[in-house]
Amino acid sequence: MLKKILGLAPKLEADGSYSPSKFALKTGVPDKTDFENISYQKYKGKKSKILVICTEEKNLKMKNGKYFSTGNHPVESLLPMLHLRNAGFEFEIATPTGKPAIFEMWAFPKKDEQVKAIYNEHKANFEKPIKLSDFIGNSFDQPDSYAAVYIPGGHGAMIGIPEDQNVGKILRWAHKNNLFTISICHGPGAFLSTTLGNQAFLYKDYNIAVFPDSVDEKTPMIGYLPGKMPYGLSEKLKSLGANLMNSKMDKTVCLDRKLITGASPLASNELGKLAAKTLLEELKS
């Protein structure tokens, strides 16, 4: 009751899940982003496509049995896409089974016209994405048409995607064909899929920026999460041999070989800039 009075209680949704408290939304969800509208020299080659793997799942079960109302974080998804679009790249939106991509609409920056515009531009594809098995069947023989695979953040990236064999296949396909892999925040949960079937972790010894477990541990106190996370993502990646480049929820971004990662929603703009610049330089050469 005291948490409700203070605005620290997570909000109960109609489906029984919980979205962040009023306090968490006020302090942690800005209504406008720090997007920089940079004029890039647009890429005009044949490797113009970027596969975006979104989650189609909404509810993440916490250790206490409560469900967090999540999905793809809109800023972590759309800000990097803005930079990449402005650099001349186009997107194929995919989800594991072809169900609509789910967004944390409570985190949508309502006063950011640029983010609104790119969301509306791709809304039809978010609502009717391709399924991963179709991508594997139809596009694995066309790696020369692709520049990168992008996995947005949001806690929803930890539902099903780390256990999806098709995600692992696509990440290994991208690695084998020298494509870039881009991810942010909890998106690197997808990297766990490369260990399925007792395979070696694809990103062992890579430098990775990822959302720190220490922050996830604290957010239930302000009602952002309705309980403790089911497991610590950053520690799991570290145990598999990844080198973690950040310990805070900050703007850290990292480029290691063909892997580009960002630490948190605060890094979305920096990740977009790094990804756009890196892809343009690589494909020019």
**CA nearest neighbour of 53 among 144, 108, 113, 134:** 134
- Which two three-digit tokens encode residue 145? 């048409």
**CA nearest neighbour of 215 among 204, 205, 224:** 224
Distances (CA, A) of 121 to 54, 74, 82, 114, 126: 16, 14, 11, 11, 10
- Backbone dihedral angles phi then psi of residue 237, each to the nearest 5 degrees: -65, -40
d(CA 122, CA 201): 33
Alpha helix (H) residue ranges in 21-163: 22-28, 74-86, 113-127, 132-139
d(CA 191, CA 161): 9
Catalytic: 185? Answer: yes
Question: Chain-centre distance of CA 194, in angstroms?
Answer: 17
> Under DSSP, is residue 199 helix (H, G, I), strand (E, B) or coil?
coil
Active-site annotation holder among 50, 107, 171, 185 = 185
3-state secondary structure 154-182: CHHHHCCHHHCHHHHHHHHHHHHCCCEEE
Run of H or E residues at 5: helix 2-5
Query: Contact at 8 Å (CB) between 30 and 129?
Result: no
Active site residues: 185
